[in-house]
Amino acid sequence: MSPQALLAQVLHQDRGRLLAALISRIGDFQRAEDALQEAAAAALVHWGRAGVPASPIGWLLRAALRKAIDAYRRDAALSRHRDAIAVLAEEEAADPDPQTIPDDRLRLIFTCCHPALEEKTRVALTLRSLCGLSTPQVAAVFLDAEATMGQRLSRAKTKIAVAGIPFAVPGPEDLPDRLNSVLTVVYLIFTAGYAQGPQAGFDLCGEAIFLSRLLVALAPGQPEVEGCLALLLLTQARARARVSPEGATLPPAAQDRRLWDHAMLAEGKALLDDAIARQRPGPFQIKAAIAALHTGDTPDWPQIAALYTRLLDHEPTAIVRLNQAVAIAEAGRPDLSLQILNAIAGDLPDYQPFHAAHADILARTGQPGPARQAYALAIAAAASAADRAFLQSRLDALNGAG
């Protein structure tokens, strides 16, 4: 393998691990990132000339520590920098062996997802630092200009250093909230990937699953962490079947089950069982349980409705109410479902799934007039031609029947 190809592979696989190890030693996010970048540039020169080292990660870590010492020397006027040099020189003298480098990525995840940072910044920083996406790739996720995203990432790293955001796993008192902040970032990355489909060069759903697996490995015994990975797997396993050949979004019950990844489903269900056995329920376990119920031979709607009601305790949002209302209608209580929909109508004015569900339930309760109006609103709000065509076919069927 050429030095370039090897370096690219190491950085793709182990950038997060290297960066975490460097931040924990250097104590500064931006300096660690700069040092790693300089070490990578040096690697191309040295590996090309002297051959590839036995341990590329160990080589990069050691080179980056030296680069960081150099950088501190360049502005050593400040006494705290002189202290930093002394500490780093000691680290550098000890031969870094990749087998003994502790995995500091869990600390890095908690830093990147700190609630003192804006949510979008948390997602961007996590993708850049732990998933190794380039700044242009992170910018593309948000449809931002590269320079704008660069500024956002740089501002975040400055705030982490200057405001004293710790590079640490939070104590037991803060852990549940902080873990939820991390899992929310992972889930946002997944849903962004689910909405966009695979991008050129990177797959956000895959990155979210990678992060989620990392969390399960580094923070074992946490039922919400297991619940999050279970949710992602149970959703991803059905990804190929979620759209009809014509391109319309399909509910699980209408999907071609031969397209499901059954091994992934089984893994998700097993994880969910492990999580539930710990008897500390939370929103990710509830969502995973709902996803699991959708994969049964026939969805257990009363049970799904009950789970949405429990999810409302954690996430009292209009979207959860909408899902609860749909499940209640499917469970045989369309009257109660309509009451809920009427209560949340004002919160979701242009939300196509709301109008589509509303239309369907109105039609089923013998109100074709209002159902037609709701279909018209759903069609107006539909994001794709295929979804529009599907809704139009439902409207046509209603007109034919009426």
Which chain residues interact with another protein by CB under 8 A?
Answer: 80, 114, 116, 162-166, 168, 170, 174
CA–CA gap between residue 186 and residue 203 (Å, rounded): 13
When the beta carbons of 170 and 302 are compared against another protein, the nearer one is: 170
Q: Are 344 and 321 in contact (CB under 8 A)?
A: yes
The nearest distance, CB 164 to another protein, in angstroms, is 5
The nearest distance, CB 130 to another protein, in angstroms, is 20
CA–CA gap between residue 32 and residue 101 (Å, rounded): 16
**Contacts of residue 61, Cβ cutoff 8 Å, sequence gap at least 6:** 18, 21, 22, 39, 96, 98, 101
DSSP 202: B
When the beta carbons of 51 and 172 are compared against another protein, the nearer one is: 172
Tokens of residue 287, six digits: 């969502």
* 249 DSSP β-pair partners: 243
The nearest distance, CB 108 to another protein, in angstroms, is 15
The nearest distance, CB 219 to another protein, in angstroms, is 17
* DSSP notation for 325-362: HHHHHHTT-HHHHHHHHHHHGGG-TT-HHHHHHHHHHH
When the beta carbons of 166 and 197 are compared against another protein, the nearer one is: 166
When the beta carbons of 53 and 170 are compared against another protein, the nearer one is: 170
The nearest distance, CB 315 to another protein, in angstroms, is 22
When the beta carbons of 116 and 254 are compared against another protein, the nearer one is: 116
When the beta carbons of 168 and 397 are compared against another protein, the nearer one is: 168
The nearest distance, CB 156 to another protein, in angstroms, is 13
DSSP 239: G
